[in-house]
Amino acid sequence: MVSKSLYDNQIGDAGAQAIGSALRNKANLSILYLSQNKIGDAGARAIAEGLQTSTALTDLRMSVNQIGDAGARAIGSALRTKEDLSILNLSENKISDIGACAIAKGLQTSSELTELWLFKNQIGDAGAQAIGSALRNMANLSILYLWDNRISSSVVKVLSNNLPAKCEFWAENQRVRVQRASILASSSRVAPTPAPRSNTASAPLAASDPTSEQVRQLQARIAQLESNTIPRVSLQVLSQATAQFSESKRIGGGGFGKVYSGVWSGQRVAVKRLAADSIQGAPQFEAELKALSRFRHPNIVTIMCFAQEGKERCLVYELMANGSIRDRLDRKDGTPALSWQQRRNIATDIANAMHFVQTAIPRQPLFHLDLKTDNVLLDAHFNAKVADFGLTRSIPAQVDAHSYIKTKTIAGTYQYICPQYHQDGKVSIKTDVYSYGMILLELLTGQPPSLDLIANVRRELKRSRKIDAVLDKAIDWSPQDKESAHAMAELAEDCLQLARVDRPSFRDILTQLSQFVDQGSAHAHATMPQEPRMEHHHSSIEEQLQPHLDSDLVRSRMEQQQQHAQSAEVSAESISRLSHPHSAIKEQLSPMTNSIVVNASMQSQLDSEN
């Protein structure tokens, strides 16, 4: 038996990609522990590709990472070749119903599955039901852990009645542990006989359950996502979905057009009807759709479908029930203030989204350039999702922390724009970090963005090393909360440094956030069943991989990553403060977001500082 543990080495996506490449030459690997390593979707995809050839794998553990639906889909696809998989642990990630359905599909051939750990994700009723359908005839299943998800008690009950008798099932809904009555009476119950398996999706647990239709819709969405396409619908369909674009359905608008609420394919959606003067034409519109279809993440607002007929163009997004962060900070419509826990989680969600778009396609990061609290939306569970990405990534250039692209036009909102971009049109992967720093200050204080806000927080930090005087008075701050707020303020100050070389990357930001987000989770987690840790030592990646993995490849990839992280930029130029807003150029606006399409005016060559 060949096994390997890299538990808690913080290898990130770079290390995971190196390991994924090495795995292709290790068909005899049977156990792989990669928990607590800050692995995101890019790393999960690389591991999944490597596992395609690891036919002996029976135990895969990737808990406490940053894996979303894109990574879960890749893992689910890889699992279709793993008939002998015994243990799968993807707990404490960011997997929602789409990812859960993909995993369920992948597990249908795993007749030897004994343990499935998916607690502390974002799985709802549809995802849980898909998993239940895939597992219902697995006689060897002994553990199914689904607590801290979004599963209703009615679906929990259905699951508990359909699982094998000996299965220990934990599902938590609103902090209440649900135990199966069937476990207590397992001695008198006969395990079901496994049914013949096929490559098709399992039948729903209960045909009359309304969640069954959601499962079918999610399965269709998975197929769509795997093909990297956004479905096109007729304008008539969207007209019907919004009561003929009725003013009573209108929920927003601006220079880009109007936004309406509606129902499409059984799901509540937001339909953005683009204004005629915001459209550059069909080719640009379709190119942007193609680009954005490649970026799927739990913390990015999803484009569900689009319509294009003549000069009419509409985009359909998932509807975000709680509006924007700015709406909630302003307590629009009398809504309660966001708690400090919610604000910390929001900060992490945004950083996760931005790290993903900067790393999903190597050497071709996606810039946002208008990251602000108005463009970060909150779903019904107050998960943050970044909206309004424009097509700003189209030239095949190497853009990293030590280089920039130059544009003649400036997009965005001036309070959030970093000096290099505002004054010289220089865009780098640190440009959006500056905007993120302003968002952190808004979360801390509740105040709108301004240069005065930056100055006030810096003054408090310098004067007393405390920021109590500027914290949002709508929150009842505990001493522990104030401590973590102070840490976030220092992080915000780092993000708002004038010289981009002094700003952290989003990878660094996630590392810092992890030190003070969910401080109270350790006690709650201790009461739940814990995964046994494989014996290991905190040695280097290279040492742990030898002799079972290709350590030369891992070393090469990790050294390359370190070189990029450690290369020094030139001393930052002296930059004056921002003093006036930018002027939007209508002719170069994105047809989707009303943001200036940066690449339309970017220089064809990549400028590098000397």
Catalytic residue of the set 13, 370, 374, 388: 370
| DSSP helix/strand/coil, 500 | helix
Closest CA to 417 of 535, 222, 582: 582
Q: Are 296 and 398 in contact (CB under 8 A)?
A: no
Alpha-carbon span 93 to 37, nearest angstrom? 11
CA torsion sign for 479, 483, 488, 494 is positive
350, with CB counted inside 10 A (0-12, 13-18, 19+), is: buried
Respond yes or no: is residue 370 known to be catalytic. yes
Structure token pair of residue 146: 């689904």
Structure token pair of residue 553: 């490849």
508-530 burial, b for 16+ CB within 10 Å, e for fewer? bbbebbbebbbeeeeeeeeeeee
Which amino acid appears at position 322 of this protein?
N
Q: Are 106 and 77 in contact (CB under 8 A)?
A: yes
Pairing of strands 376-378, 384-386: antiparallel
Alpha-carbon span 205 to 170, nearest angstrom? 18
Contacts of 492 (CB under 8 A, 6+ apart): 437, 438, 440, 441, 444, 457
Q: Which residues are annotated as a binding site for ATP?
A: 272
Terminal Cα distance for the chain, rounded: 52
Alpha-carbon span 451 to 449, nearest angstrom? 7
Closest CA to 79 of 36, 135, 38: 135
| DSSP helix/strand/coil, 218 | helix
- 259 beta partners: 252, 272
| DSSP helix/strand/coil, 315 | strand
Structure token pair of residue 533: 């840790």
Alpha-carbon span 440 to 362, nearest angstrom? 27
Contacts of 603 (CB under 8 A, 6+ apart): 405, 406, 407
The 3-state secondary structure of 96-124, one letter per residue:
CHHHHHHHHHHHCCCCCCCEEECCCCCCC
Segments in 108-234 forming alpha helices (H): 125-135, 153-162, 181-184, 211-226
Q: Are 222 and 73 in contact (CB under 8 A)?
A: yes
Q: Are 218 and 98 in contact (CB under 8 A)?
A: yes
Catalytic residues: 370
